[in-house]
Chains A and B, each alone.
Chain A
Amino acid sequence: MPVKSSDITPQALFMQRRRMLGLGLASLSLPLASGLFADEEELLDPDAPLSLGGQAVAVNKPITATRLDIINSYNNYYEFGFGKEDPSQAPKTLITSPWSVTVGGVGVDNPGIYDIADLHAEHDIENRLYRFRCVEAWSMVVPWNGIPLAAIIKAAKPNSKAKYVRFETLYDDKQMPNANWAGGPYIEGLTIAEAVHPLTLMATGIYDEPLQQQTGAPIRLVVPWKYGFKYAKSIVRIDLVEEMPRNTWWRQNPQEYGFYANVNPKFNHPRWSQASERVVGSFGRQKTLIFNGYADDVAYLYPDLSDRRYFY
Chain B
Amino acid sequence: MQIKRLARLFNVLLLVFVVWQFELSLKAPDTVTELRDMSGRMASYLLLLSLLFTPASHLWPSLRVYVPLRRYVGLWAFTMALVHLLVWVSLEFNFDWLLMWQETTDNLFIWMGLIALLLLLPMALTSNRKSSGRLGYRRWQALHSLTYVALPLALGHYLMAQKVATGEPVVLLVVLVLVMIWRFKHAR
- Which residue numbers of A lie inside 8 Å of B, CB to CB? 1-3, 69-70, 73-74, 78, 82, 84-85, 136, 138, 268, 271-273, 275-276, 278, 280-281, 283-285, 287
- Cα–Cα, bound, A69→B30 (Å): 11
Q: Name the residue of chain A whose CB is nearest to the CB of B105.
A: A273
Taking a contact as CB atoms under 8 Å apart, the answer to whether B30 and A281 are in contact is: yes
The residues of B that contact A138 with a CB separation of less than 8 Å are 30, 33
Known: A1-B26, A285-B94. 12 other contacts (CB 8 A): A3-B31, A69-B29, A138-B30, A271-B160, A273-B107, A275-B106, A278-B33, A278-B92, A280-B33, A281-B29, A284-B91, A284-B94
Taking a contact as CB atoms under 8 Å apart, the answer to whether A285 and B93 are in contact is: yes
- Cα–Cα, bound, A280→B91 (Å): 12
Which bracket fits the contact residues of B? 20 to 34
Taking a contact as CB atoms under 8 Å apart, the answer to whether B93 and A85 are in contact is: no
Which residues of chain B from 156 to 188 have any CB-CB distance to chain A below 8 Å in the complex? 160, 163-164, 166
* Chain B nearest Cβ from A286, distance in angstroms: 9
Of A273, A275, A280, A283, which is within 8 A of B29 by CB?
A280
Of the candidate stretches B39-47, B53-61, B96-104, B121-129, the one touching chain A is B96-104
* Chain B nearest Cβ from A273, distance in angstroms: 4
- Cα–Cα, bound, A268→B76 (Å): 34
- Cα–Cα, bound, A284→B102 (Å): 15
- Cα–Cα, bound, A272→B26 (Å): 26
Which residues of chain B from 23 to 37 have any CB-CB distance to chain A below 8 Å in the complex? 26, 28-33
Q: Name the residue of chain B whose CB is nearest to the CB of A282.
A: B32
Which residues of chain B from 63 to 105 have any CB-CB distance to chain A below 8 Å in the complex? 91-94, 96, 99, 102-103
Q: Name the residue of chain A whose CB is nearest to the CB of B163.
A: A136
- Cα–Cα, bound, A2→B28 (Å): 10
* Chain A nearest Cβ from B18, distance in angstroms: 18
- Cα–Cα, bound, A278→B93 (Å): 9
The residues of A that contact B26 with a CB separation of less than 8 Å are 1-2
- Cα–Cα, bound, A280→B30 (Å): 5
Taking a contact as CB atoms under 8 Å apart, the answer to whether A283 and B103 are in contact is: no
Taking a contact as CB atoms under 8 Å apart, the answer to whether A85 and B103 are in contact is: no
- Cα–Cα, bound, A125→B106 (Å): 42
Which 6 pairs between the two chains have the least Cβ-Cβ distance?
A284-B94, A273-B106, A74-B29, A73-B29, A136-B163, A280-B30
Of B92, B107, B109, B160, which is within 8 A of A284 by CB?
B92
